[in-house]
Amino acid sequence: MTTKRPPTALEKMGLNSPMALALHLPSRYEDETELFTIEEALGLGRFHSIQTQGVVIRNQVTFRPRRQLLVTIEDDTASLQLRFLNFYPSQQKQMAVGANVRVRGEVREGYQGAEMVHPTVRAVTPDSPLPASLTPVYPASAGLSQTIIRKAVLKALQDASLKESLAEFLPTKLMAEILPSNDWPPLQDAISYLHQPPADANTQSLLERTHPAWRRVQFEELLAQQISLKRAHAIRRERRAPSFEKDRQASKAKKTNASIEDGLQKVLPFELTSAQARVWSEIGLDLSNTFPMNRLLQGDVGSGKTVIAALAAARAMDHGYQAAIMAPTEILAEQHYLKMQEWFEPLGVKIAWLSGSLKAKEKRLAQEMIESGEAQLIIGTHALIQDKVSFAKLGLAVIDEQHRFGVRQRLEIQQRVGSELFYCHQLMMSATPIPRTLAMTYYADLDVSVIDELPPGRKPIATKVVKAARRDEVISGLHDWLAKGLQAYWVCPLIEESEVLQLQTAVESFEQLTQALPNFKVGLVHGRLKSEEKAAVMAAFKANEIQLLVATTVIEVGVDVPNAALMVIEHAERFGYAQIHQLRGRVGRGSADSVCILMYAEPLSLAAKERLQTLRETSDGFVIAERDLSLRGPGELLGAKQSGDAMLRFVDLQRDAWLIELAQTAAERLLAEHGDLVERHLERWLGSRTEFLKA
């Protein structure tokens, strides 16, 4: 019996073929094509890396102020000290007295004069030639040196199979018509150039990834992605879905009772805004189609997305189908459940609630109601898409805060239901606006509706940025606020490294505020509380039995208390753009002027300073989303990091936005005129990852 060998470090990184290695492109380059004397290096190398060479004349390990290796090299012009704070015996041996070494690093002023700290070192002979090209530095993992990757890449570039894998097959005429200029090299030349740029290459354009060789690679990758999305769009239109036409529903309702949709509109205590009415018209049209809706409903915090979801659910139920609403957290799912109960129970609609924290018996009862069809509306967390849940006749799935679910989770709910050959309509909702560039690339198969106005009476939220040193002033102001009969939130810092620390901070703040505000009731809610305890605290806060709610980020979404018009976020520098924007949206829901205080600890990093400044200046979700995209990248905003599959590897959505439209045009032309080439292009760039682009 043969034992399977363990994967190599290269294979663990997915570098298991010549093509994979060819597409493992450098993240930066080192210029080892120039060599300076030590005297020149001392004058030139104080602000950038520089390469010099010499003979080792001293090699010693010292222990003051800490263990370190000090090596001195010299040439005919001067001498230079090298300092290593972490080193191996092999390095000490490599730099033995008398050895010729070539070193590269930045010259700094040390305690004993000029020195290089942790330079790269290579053993050479006095006349060793210089490389003819820039030295690539590759993304690597632990246990995988640059030397191993460079050797593997060079071997792959010489592999005969690579010529075929990187062959030109995009039609020359089509490329000439679409591309802005003809200075982009053929793909194979572009990839060879990026791995081995000549000494006179424009290093700035290589590092910024704007060089023509980079542009060719980026265009090809975007083209594959756009083809994949456009094909997914076409495939969706060929699928069968139940048609929920309003007219057919109305005639059916005459024979029975009044429709649920009409009943809902009568019980709603408000009129739809013009933006809500427009969005509902778009969704209603989608629901009347015989292919599944795939629509993203965007609206800032508090814009009224929930009522649109309720109307869509009502229309599905009027046609005899079930509707499901799924939310990422129990607290948000429960808010939906309470709101839907308020609206639908007077109309006789049977609602099922399903979450991971239910007792086994309650869970089983809910599952039976769902499977039998007794439950018309089902609300819950990701527990809705687990194996044991079987819908009788699911016609609509509403997924709230869709970016918080992994790509695989979004896929699961849109698969075929039961034995019937139909797919349910899918409505995704998000209070985190999707930047235009992201929508063009990852959401090309999604129709997008935007609620771009707040309901009447909603007031803008004033945002203030305050140093933590003024905490006592903030608490004093909080006392005056509560004395007016208003309520407030106090949000504790997010400490990703430790849920225990986060909880501890919340408890400490709760105790301090309870002592400082003896005339008011202070409540505490955090992720470690049981569901019923959380619900009890939230209900007491909503009823104004609790005036100040100390909370961790569990209140980020789904909490609606109109009388709570002040929020203090401590250690605001630890939160991201989207989180503060979401948290801030918990206030401003009533008639009182609302305030959000961002309290920060010094010193502030430049990124944190810019983030707080932006949040103080704007409440526009789209501006904030664009800044968030530039900071975090698409993977986190899409929830794609949870899938474990790489997103676009070579494209920066903001820097390369103009390329997206070129790729879209080329994708349309290829699909219409050169269908035979489509599969080849997808296989080259995406392989097995095409399924994730359909999510």
Instruction: Please answer whether residues 144 and 10 qualify as being in contact, where contact means their C-beta atoms are separated by less than 8 angstroms.
Output: yes
pLDDT above 70 for 420: no
Give the N- to C-terminal CA distance of the chain in Å, as an integer: 42
Residues 473 and 434 in one domain: no
- 563 by Cβ neighbours in 10 Å (0-12 / 13-18 / 19+) ranks as middle
Of 325-334, 376-385, 472-481, 548-557, which has the strongest mean pLDDT? 472-481
Residues 446 and 465 in one domain: no
Q: Model confidence over 136-153: pLDDT tens digits?
A: 999 888 778 888 999 999
pLDDT > 70 in the chain, percent: 83
Section 201-207 average pLDDT: 88
3-state secondary structure 641-674: HHHCCCCCCCCCCCCCHHHHHHHHHHHHHHHHHC
The secondary structure of 334-393 as a DSSP string is HHHHHHHHHHHGGGT--EEEE-TTS-HHHHHHHHHHHHHT--SEEEESGGGGSTT---SS
Predicted local distance difference test score (pLDDT) of residue 637: 45
Q: Residue 449 — very low, low, confident or very high, per pLDDT cuts 50/70/90?
A: confident
Cβ–Cβ contacts within 10 Å for residue 440, how many?
A: 19
Q: Which stretches within 158-304 are classed as H helix?
A: 160-165, 172-178, 187-195, 203-207, 212-238, 246-255, 260-267, 274-288
Q: Residue 190 — very low, low, confident or very high, per pLDDT cuts 50/70/90?
A: very high
For the chain, the domain total comes to 3
Q: Model confidence over 347-373: pLDDT tens digits?
A: 999 999 988 778 888 889 998 999 899
User: Within a domain: residue 167?
Assistant: no
Q: Which domain holds residue 66?
A: 34-130
Predicted local distance difference test score (pLDDT) of residue 412: 44
- State the CATH number of the domain containing residue 104: 2.40.50.140
Using DSSP's 3-state secondary structure scheme, residue 467 falls into strand
Residues 607 and 476 in one domain: yes
Q: Residue 572 — very low, low, confident or very high, per pLDDT cuts 50/70/90?
A: confident
pLDDT above 60 for 570: yes
User: Within a domain: residue 250?
Assistant: yes
The secondary structure of 392-425 as a DSSP string is SSEEEEEEETGGGS-HHHHHHHTS--TTSS---E
Q: Model confidence over 16-45: pLDDT tens digits?
A: 889 989 999 999 888 888 899 999 998 886
Q: Residue 48 — very low, low, confident or very high, per pLDDT cuts 50/70/90?
A: confident
Residues 378 and 264 in one domain: yes
- What is d(CA 589, CA 611) in angstroms, rounded to the nearest whole number? 24
Residues 414 and 530 in one domain: no
Section 189-215 average pLDDT: 91
Question: What is the 8-class DSSP label of residue 45?
Answer: T
Residues 483 and 588 in one domain: yes
User: Within a domain: residue 200?
Assistant: no
pTM for the structure as a whole: 0.66
Q: What angle do CA 582, 282, 248 make, to 5 degrees?
A: 130
- State the CATH number of the domain containing residue 545: 3.40.50.300
Phi-psi region of 587 (alpha: psi -120 to 50; beta: other; left: phi over 0): beta
- Cα-to-chain-centroid distance, residue 175: 32
Nearest to 492 by CA among 444, 548, 534: 548
Q: Model confidence over 57-113: pLDDT tens digits?
A: 999 999 887 889 999 999 999 999 999 988 888 889 999 999 999 999 999 888 778
Predicted local distance difference test score (pLDDT) of residue 683: 84
Residues 482 and 415 in one domain: no
Instruction: Please answer whether residues 538 and 331 qualify as being in contact, where contact means their C-beta atoms are separated by less than 8 angstroms.
Output: yes
Section 248-275 average pLDDT: 74
Q: Residue 245 — very low, low, confident or very high, per pLDDT cuts 50/70/90?
A: confident
User: Within a domain: residue 471?
Assistant: yes
Last residue of a domain, one of 130, 158, 185: 130
User: Within a domain: residue 190?
Assistant: no
Residues 469 and 405 in one domain: no
Residues 440 and 468 in one domain: no
Last residue of a domain, one of 559, 588, 618: 618
Predicted local distance difference test score (pLDDT) of residue 194: 96
User: Within a domain: residue 57?
Assistant: yes
Predicted local distance difference test score (pLDDT) of residue 294: 86
Section 439-461 average pLDDT: 72
Section 454-461 average pLDDT: 72
Predicted local distance difference test score (pLDDT) of residue 279: 95
Q: Residue 656 — very low, low, confident or very high, per pLDDT cuts 50/70/90?
A: confident
Q: What is the largest CA-CA distance in the chain?
A: 103
Predicted local distance difference test score (pLDDT) of residue 433: 66
The one-letter code for the residue type at 107 is V
Residues 251 and 352 in one domain: yes
Q: Model confidence over 587-634: pLDDT tens digits?
A: 877 777 889 999 998 887 887 888 888 888 877 666 666 666 665 555
Q: Model confidence over 490-506: pLDDT tens digits?
A: 988 754 444 555 555 77
Residues 384 and 492 in one domain: no
Residues 368 and 471 in one domain: no
Residue 482 or 695, more confident: 482
Using DSSP's 3-state secondary structure scheme, residue 36 falls into strand
Predicted local distance difference test score (pLDDT) of residue 616: 86
Last residue of a domain, one of 451, 483, 510: 451
- 509 by Cβ neighbours in 10 Å (0-12 / 13-18 / 19+) ranks as buried
User: Within a domain: residue 479?
Assistant: yes
User: Within a domain: residue 639?
Assistant: no
Instruction: Please answer whether residues 15 and 114 qualify as being in contact, where contact means their C-beta atoms are separated by less than 8 angstroms.
Output: no
